[in-house]
Copies of this chain bind each other. A is one copy, B any other.
Amino acid sequence: MATGTINKISKSPVNGKEYDIPVTLDDKSGINDFITLHPGKKVVVVQGLGFVGSVMGLVVANALTEEYAVIGIDLPTPASYWKIRSINEGVFPVIASDPKIDIYYQNALKKKNYYATYDPYAYSKADVVVVDINLDVKKITAIDNELQDYSVDLAPFKKAIEAIGNNCKEDVLVLVETTVPPGTAQKIVRPLLEECLSKRGLSADKIKVGHSYERVMPGPKYIDSIQNFYRVFAGTDEKSADAVESFLRTVIRTDEYPLTKLGNTNATEMAKVLENSFRAMNIAFMVEWSRFAEEAGVDIYEVVNAIRMRPTHKNIMLPGLGVGGYCLTKDPLLASWARMNLFGSGEKLGQSEKGVHINDKMPLYAFEYLQSQYTGTLSGKKVLLLGVSYLNDVGDTRYTPVEGFYDHLDLEGCEITLHDPHVKYWEEKDIWVNQDLDDLLNNIYDVIAITTGHKDYRNNAELITKIIQLPACMIYDTIGVLSNKEVRLLSEKHTVKVIGRGDL
């Protein structure tokens, strides 16, 4: 058993269980035992057990037309080791509202075909390796939320690919699902794998490398967002493309959601970051219109809803507190970086980068808007924030814009109380979040701010009634959740301010 030094413990946020990380990192026998259980089955190793990988593993373990033996692999670090143990102990490492997650997991437990490990020895057994690790952009941001610089460090990603190359069979299919800088499969992954194979004295010609990005949406349709959704794919050569296609056909309901094959992996990699940049830009575009609406006594929400009646304009978005999540906050930068660094262009993607700049500053605006409602400082004001996650009805706090807003309030000296029905523990801030709104509303606040559009805060007559009973305060809707009627009702007692809704 490992010594329990502080760095050697990995704690599950799912059930609070603590695990000692083993000192001797060897799981060959565990892997071999698992393989022995599944003679004749193809082995799929999923690299990375995060929001995508852990569920992708589950979907592959429940593939449609083939029985796979699935091994999930992650690093034996405090942040990840518990996921490995959790999967092997029958506790799925992701909390999600999608009931299919549990059905799929129970089925995999029954079939015993989803094993997890930290040992790269697993790659030696793989017929397919699915790469679902992160590739991060490091943003350097000033106190006013202005993005000052950013960098892309490929080192951890390359190291992960090398771990495959140093262990894999020479004809393995490596399918990259990670959102990568366009050019990565062709210019980085394939050459690296070929180099590793050559060093090992193996043929470098037989390897297959493809790219097919996931469009995972954590939430009530988690599984469907992988299995019942459109996929785009490409190979670094024709053989690779064919192998990717064959594999995806066994996993994804391609009869209903036909696959789209693109000419090369640069194209699929570009498609993914373009999709997300389009959304990010769409939001950034709306920011200045939201300001204009406030100036012109216009309700931007009713305007956008009217515009959305047009089929050609259905996807116009709303601004709000800001943009969060793992993708939209970084993918435009990833693309711009690739254009300059992998393709040697003298130009960045200036418009798309600008979009990130604008979006990053939204939480500051929300703070300043609130500040402008008072003559003095906000210091000492009791503020209740309704919602911590970045997305409606999901407990995902990665890069949530609530963080920027919270930080400004905190720096100003506000007393902040947090509520979120989907977040118990705000990992990034190391703060516990209250989940009992009724209880919270027994207290008195200067400001009640709606910061996430959870169902719990929408069209909730009971909530409105309770808030009306509180002593007069400021109700601050940062995302346009309140209806006109609710604003009217609340205004009888409280001051109500809504971002993007001007007073005429």
Contacts and interface: CB of A to CB of B under 8 A. Distances in A.
B232 A271 contact: no
19 contacts: A230-B310, A232-B306, A262-B306, A263-B299, A264-B298, A266-B296, A266-B297, A266-B298, A267-B299, A274-B289, A274-B316, A275-B316, A278-B313, A279-B312, A285-B351, A288-B350, A288-B352, A289-B352, A313-B315
Interface of A: 182-183, 215, 230, 232, 260, 262-264, 266-268, 270-271, 274-275, 277-279, 281-282, 284-285, 287-289, 291-293, 295-299, 302-303, 305-307, 309-310, 312-316, 335, 339, 343, 345, 347, 349-352, 354, 358, 504
A502 to B, nearest CB: 8
Pairs A-B, 10 closest by C-beta atoms? A230-B309, A260-B306, A267-B298, A232-B306, A266-B296, A315-B315, A271-B303, A295-B343, A292-B339, A266-B298
Secondary structure at the A interface, as helix, strand, loop or mixed, is: helix
Given A260-B306, A349-B289, A296 B335 contact: no
A182 B504 CA distance: 13
Copies in the complex: 2
Given A271-B303, A289-B352, 13 more contacts: A182-B298, A260-B309, A263-B504, A264-B504, A266-B297, A267-B299, A270-B298, A274-B303, A278-B316, A291-B345, A291-B347, A292-B343, A315-B315
Contacts of A310: 215, 230, 275
Nearest to A230: B309
Contacts of A262: 299, 302-303, 306
A288 to B, nearest CB: 5
A190 B312 CA distance: 32
Of A260, A270, A292, A295, most buried by chain B (CB within 10 Å of CB) is A292
Contacts of A292: 182, 270, 335, 339, 343, 345, 349
Q: Which of A279, A291, A307, A345: most chain B Cβ within 10 A?
A: A307
